[in-house]
Structure 1
Amino acid sequence: MSSLERFGGDRETRVGNAERASLTEILRSAVDQGYIDLDEYEKRVDVLMAAKTVGETEVVLADLPAYQRVLKAQEDAFTPDRLPTPEWIKWLWAGVSIPIGIATGVWAFVFFLSGSHQYFWPVWVVIPLGVVASVLTVAEKNIIRPGEERKRRERMRRRRMD
């Protein structure tokens, strides 16, 4: 798999003079930085100028650090930001906290008014609601969100290809 394919590029996509000129700049930069010598530069430029597809250009550039930096910059530019926490998760926890707060408040009121030690019966409200809310939150984070991010990346990849 070509490193360009990660970004939605097809190895069989044709390249034009503008792309060849910008890729030649990467080769020139490699000479300036001492990665390749002038003889190798000339050979690579000849191959690059004769290249008709992305796959053919990648052959002469793949081992150069400058090219790898360009690919990394493209990857970073097209990597979508992480999705924010959905509103329904926030509302879920707000909704769960209300009955828990009411039950705990009633228990505390009765506990302090009676002065006797009473067992903490709101646990029967706290545990089921806490378990359900926790399971839904974990499912959203580990199942729903990764699926949504995959769909989002696919949409972005399709947009880049258009």
Structure 2
Amino acid sequence: MRASDADRDACAERLATALSEGRLDLTEYERRLDAAMRSVVLGDLRVLTADLPEPPPPAPVPDSSLTAVSRTALVSPWKDWVDEWRWWLGGAVIMTGIWGVTSIMGNDAMPFWPLVPLGIWAAILIAAAIWPDDNAGTRR
């Protein structure tokens, strides 16, 4: 049977795993990878990985009706939103630190300029929470 691109990619992934585990040296890996990319039939690919251990079977799916994927889908938007606010807080600390150092060095309190970029950034985060982009997770 003729090999597909997916078959060649799976073979390449298996070879890369063998390289990372130390089962193949770089020269042998490159030789086998080149042969895998040129393979036309599945038998050619099997020969390239015949001396390598079989990959572990996929982990079993839990019996719970709420799978990890659906759990992630429920938690992810809030986690992402909290992560964005953490970035905002980090930016606030850095900008306020710069403002404080420059004010001390100038012996005069400068206007609190971080208010402008932090205010705009916060407004964008709040707008994203009020009007979420429902297609954000489906784009490629």
Fold shared, TM-score > 0.5 on shorter chain: no
Q: Which has the higher helix share?
A: 1
* Structure ranking higher on relative contact order (CA contacts 8 Å, 6+ apart): 1
Larger Rg: 1
When normalised by structure 2's length, the TM-score is: 0.39
